[in-house]
Amino acid sequence: MNPTQRDPMRILIDEQAIQRRVRELGQEIRATYGDEPVTAIGVLKGSFMFMADLVRAIDGEVRCDFLGVSSYQGGTRSTGVVRITQDLKHPIEGQHCLVIEDIIDTGLTIEYLLKMLEVRQPRSLRVAALLDKPSNRETKVTADFVGFTIPDEFVVGYGLDLGELYRNLPHIAVYTP
């Protein structure tokens, strides 16, 4: 029995819609950077599935690196305290960097990460977020590329978890206990 059968949850964005939008985002991103190489920085773990699909949708030169971040400590509310669990493996000075996030909610995590990366003097620093929950924002941060804007509900699937479960769903679902 898979988690969908065990805990039926309402599908908010189905697999086809995600795949279609990710392909569009890849083209938008490539058009923004022209022929320049892009350094994609995936914020683990939630963005791993989005990143895997997104980088395949961006033509040309793309480097991949990862930041490990823990902001929830297992619950469903941002604590505002961001813990870096894994730093980038390579310097980003002079590079066009695209931070890839699963979801921007309060904006506290991405604000912290952008401040941390800015001091490393990238040539440019942009953000691609699969999901945006603007109703909960506590900062002025906005993503340069957004897949879908969603209401203030706790979602799982396509990389997003609750207590490490549901990341493997191919769609985005509203978590219902």
- CB distance 109 to 84 below 8 Å: no
- The size of the interface with ligand 5GP (CB under 6 A), counted in residues, is 19
Residue in 154, 159, 106 with CA at minimum distance from that of residue 9 = 154
Dihedral sign of CA atoms 116, 164, 174, 18 in order: positive
Q: How far is the CB of 77 from ligand 5GP (least distance, A)?
A: 8
Q: Rule CB under 6 A: is residue 160 a binding residue for ligand 5GP?
A: yes
Q: Rule CB under 6 A: is residue 33 a binding residue for ligand 5GP?
A: no
Q: How far is the CB of 20 from ligand 5GP (least distance, A)?
A: 21
Q: Rule CB under 6 A: is residue 128 a binding residue for ligand 5GP?
A: no
Q: Which long-range contacts (CB under 8 A, 24 or more apart) does 17-20 make?
A: 18/53, 18/130, 18/147, 18/158, 18/170, 18/171, 18/172, 19/53
62-121 binders of ligand 5GP (CB under 6 A): 71-72, 78, 101-109
Round to whole Å and give the CA distance between 14 and 87. 32
Place of tokens 């191919």: 170
Q: Rule CB under 6 A: is residue 46 a binding residue for ligand 5GP?
A: yes
Round to whole Å and give the CA distance between 40 and 56. 11
Range in contact with ligand 5GP (rule: CB under 6 A) among 33-41, 52-60, 92-100, 160-168 = 160-168
Amino acid at the residue 72: Y
Residue 45: cis peptide before it, omega within 30 degrees of 0: yes
Amino acid at the residue 109: T
Q: Rule CB under 6 A: is residue 49 a binding residue for ligand 5GP?
A: no
Q: Rule CB under 6 A: is residue 169 a binding residue for ligand 5GP?
A: no
Instruction: Show the tokens assigned to 62.
Output: 């793309």
Q: How far is the CB of 112 from ligand 5GP (least distance, A)?
A: 8
Select which of 53, 102, 105, 161 is catalytic: 105
Q: Rule CB under 6 A: is residue 39 a binding residue for ligand 5GP?
A: no
Does the annotation count 102 as an active-site position?
no
Residues classed as catalytic: 105
Residues that bind ligand 5GP (CB under 6 A): 46, 71-72, 78, 101-109, 154-156, 160-162
